[in-house]
Amino acid sequence: MKKVRVRFAPSPTGPLHLGSIRTALYNFLFAKKNKGKFILRIEDTDRSRYKSGAENYIIKSLKWCGLTVDEGPAMKGNYGPYRQSERYEIYKKYIKYLLANDFAYYAFEKKKKKRNYNRKKLDLNISNEKTFKKIINGIVFVIRFKIPKFFGLKIKDFLRGKIIINSLDEKIILKSDGTPTYHLANVIDDHLMKISHVIKGEEWLSSFPINICLYKYFYWITPIFLHLPLILNPLGQGKISKRKILKFPIFPLGWKDKKTSQKYKGYRESGYFPEAFINMLVFLGWNPGGTKEIFSLKNLISIFKIEDINISSAKFNFKKAEWFNCKYFKKKTYKEILFLLKKELKKRNIFYIKIKNILLLKIINFLIKKCSFINEIINQTIYFFKSPDLNEKFFVKKNIKRFHSLIWIFLNEKKFNILNIKTLIQKLDLYKIQKRYSIMQLLRISLVGSLKGLDLFFIISIIGKKESLKRIIKFINYCL
């Protein structure tokens, strides 16, 4: 096998969705398995759909996933520039070659968009002089790829085998604004960057024959093409697309649409570990065989084979994604979870009730078997870290004075012995206020903000005497 060089070539038109990042993952694994190079190329010729911040998002997403780029816009390489918008001068000589060799032609069109373009209706016998005059007079033109004279074009995809093409649409290869289209630019770039394998999504199969024709026109060696199957939504009805936002995350990182100001959560913001995300993603279209499902990125590099990629589309399973994160969550040490817990609390700006590490570890120990995410631990125990917001449905006015006795119980407990406090409160609990809430329930509402939560006296032992009193008084004042 010749030296492996693969590229991930996204367009900066928005965030990467699951299908795009999976394409990057398969390219990365194949390159690293074969001691090759993984190249990032930004295909930004479509300026009408360009989104500010999208390129930076792409780079950050790859970094979060652990997919290290060998060559790209952010680092030096021998085959740059790595943004297509910086390569226009390179494309010009190849367009001239195609025109000079009758592989392409000027098309002076009135309509901007037209499917199944038919050049028979176009006068192709106009002289070079007339063509030049039209260009000088400012008549808008595009340059179109010319269909080969022969039919039955045979092309080969690594997964699908031989494909025979009997008809082709004469696609635009140079737009009226002078920018090349995907069809031309990616072929030239792949050749000049010495790409050995083109691994991309199934949605590009329609342009595959045009790619092959251009390689033939330039007399270049064709790389090996592999078109990955689609990732279908959980119902199996259509592919996962960034144009259709579903109820679960479809982006690796969060994204804010500057035009609409709408925010979308990514897997990172939803509490997923990058290693769990990658492990989940790799199985959407690939399987090494056997029953083992948990693989580190290093493990995946050692076992990955493109022969194991499935030809059929993979249906996304959100529950399975959660299962993967749960597995990686359970592998974390208490020290790692403690670090992540503090980091998340700081991010939420809610860590203003100081709790000692030893007590935080107690909280983690209570919930680690029930949770799959750091967010779940915090969401289920938020009352440890901030005073609860009181709810009108727990509004109690009659006999609230009896609840005052709790203040004296806490104040008179100098050594703050939980067992003593528990005994005293249980004595008070024989009397129910308004025949709705016991003293114990009212205490829970004042400390937690609801009737749910961990053991009440465990909560008191964690937040301490001072914070417990503060919350009880706040609740009494609320009810009066």
pLDDT digits (tens, 9 = 90+) for 356-376: 888 888 888 888 888 889 989
With beta carbons less than 8 A apart as the criterion, state whether 387 and 470 touch: yes
Query: What are 107-130's pLDDT values in tens digits?
Result: 887 655 555 555 554 444 445 666
SS3 32: helix
3-state secondary structure 248-317: CCCCCCCEECCCCCCEECCCCCCCCCHHHHHHHHHCCCECCCCCCCCCCHHHHHHHCCHHHECCCCEECC
The answer to whether 58 and 42 have CB atoms below 8 angstroms apart is: yes
Whole-angstrom Cα distance, residue 445 to residue 437?
A: 10
Question: Hey, which residues are catalytic here?
Answer: 242
In a structure prediction context, what are the per-residue pLDDT tens digits for the chain, which is 480 residues long? 679 999 999 999 989 999 999 999 999 999 999 999 999 999 998 888 888 889 999 999 999 999 999 999 988 789 989 999 999 999 999 999 999 999 999 888 765 555 555 555 444 444 566 666 776 766 788 899 888 766 667 889 898 888 877 777 888 999 988 899 999 999 999 999 999 999 999 988 888 989 999 999 999 999 999 999 999 887 666 777 665 556 788 899 999 887 788 888 999 999 999 999 999 999 999 999 889 999 999 999 999 999 999 999 989 999 999 999 999 999 999 889 989 988 888 888 876 567 788 888 888 888 888 888 998 988 888 888 888 887 666 656 555 666 666 676 666 666 666 776 777 666 665 544 445 567 777 788 888 888 888 888 888 888 888 888 888 888 888 777
Report the number of secondary-structure helices (H) and strands (E) in the chain. 16, 15
